[in-house]
Amino acid sequence: MVPLLAATAPPPVPSSFSGGAEAIAVLVLLSEFAMLRAPLSRSQVRLYAFQSLAVTALAFFVAATQHVPELYALAGFSFLLKVVFVPGIVLRLLKDARVDLVASNRLGVATMVLLAIALSAFAFFVVGRLPVRSHSLPTPALGLAAAVILVAFLLVMLRSDVVSQAVGFFSLENGVSVASLVVAAGLPLIVEVAFLFDLLVAVVVFGVLMRVHHGRTQSLSTDVLDRLKG
C-alpha cells in the first residue's frame, strides 16, 4: 500500500530545512485566518500578497532541495503573478472605487475564527490518515494545504463583499499550489504554466466583474445580489 515513492525517495531532507518548510506552510494557513477576519479590504489583499510570497518561498525551497530547476522558473512566474500583479490589480480597483470598509461579516469574528479552527483541525487529521508520503516537503504540509482550502471556502461563504470572495478564490488556489508542491512537485512545467495563465485570466475576469458590479451598485457588497432565486 505504501507508494513506491517512499522507496525511490532521495535521502531525507535535513531536519532544520523541513522544520523551516513546515513553519512557512503554517504561515500560509495563518494568513488565511487573518484574511478571514481582516475588516479592511485593503489589508485582505495585502495578506493575500504575503500568503503568495510564502507559497513562492516554498516553491524555491523545493526547487533547491529537490534539484528541480524548472521550479525556479515557476516560482518566479508565481511571484510576479500572485505577489505583484494580482494584488496590484485589486488594490487599484479599491482605490478607484474609494471604498475600503465593507460591513460584510455574516457572523461574529469569534464565531468565524472558531469555525475555521474546527475545519482546520478536521482537515489536518483527515489528511493525516491518507497513505501519502511526500519526498519534496514534510507531509504535514498537505494537511495544512487542505486546511487553507477549507478556510478559503469559509471566507467566501461568510463574507459578503466582492473583494473577500475574490480573495477567497485566489487563496484557495494558493492552497492547491501548496498541495501540488507536496505531492506533485514534478508536474511538467508546461502544465504549471497553463495553470498560472488560467489564474491570470480568471483574475482579469474577476476584476472586470467587480468593476461592473461597483459601477451598477456603487458598492462592493454582495448583499444586493438577491434578485435571482428559486
- The binder of other proteins chosen from 117, 209, 218, 223 (CB under 8 A): 209
Name the percent of the chain in helix, strand, coil, to the closest 5: 75, 5, 25
Is 222 near other proteins (CB under 8 A)? yes
User: Angle between the 41-66 and 162-183 helix axes, to the nearest 10 degrees?
Assistant: 10
Q: How far is the CB of 159 from other proteins (least distance, A)?
A: 12
Rounded to the nearest 10 degrees, how much is the dihedral formed by the CA atoms of 133, 53, 175, 201?
Answer: -130
Interface stretch with other proteins, choices 20-28, 80-88, 98-106, 198-206 (CB under 8 A):
198-206
- The binder of other proteins chosen from 132, 139, 158, 223 (CB under 8 A): 132
Of 91, 98, 147, which is closest to residue 118 (Cα–Cα)? 147
Residues 141-170 that bind other proteins (CB under 8 A): 149, 153, 156, 162, 165-166, 168-169
Nearer to other proteins, 19 or 212 (CB): 212
Nearer to other proteins, 66 or 105 (CB): 66
Nearer to other proteins, 105 or 221 (CB): 221
Q: Is 98 left (phi over 0), alpha (psi -120 to 50) or beta?
A: left
Q: How far is the CB of 160 from other proteins (least distance, A)?
A: 12
Distance in angstroms (rounded) separating the CA atoms of residues 138 and 147 = 15
**What would the 3-class secondary structure string for 166-224 be?**
HHHHHHHHHHHHHHHHHHCCCCCHHHHHHHHHHHHHHHHHHHHHHHHHHHHHCCCECCC
Residues lying near other proteins in the complex (CB under 8 A): 1, 3-5, 8, 130-132, 135, 149, 153, 156, 162, 165-166, 168-169, 172-173, 176, 179-180, 183-188, 191, 194-195, 197-198, 201-202, 204-206, 208-209, 212-213, 216, 222, 225, 227-228, 230
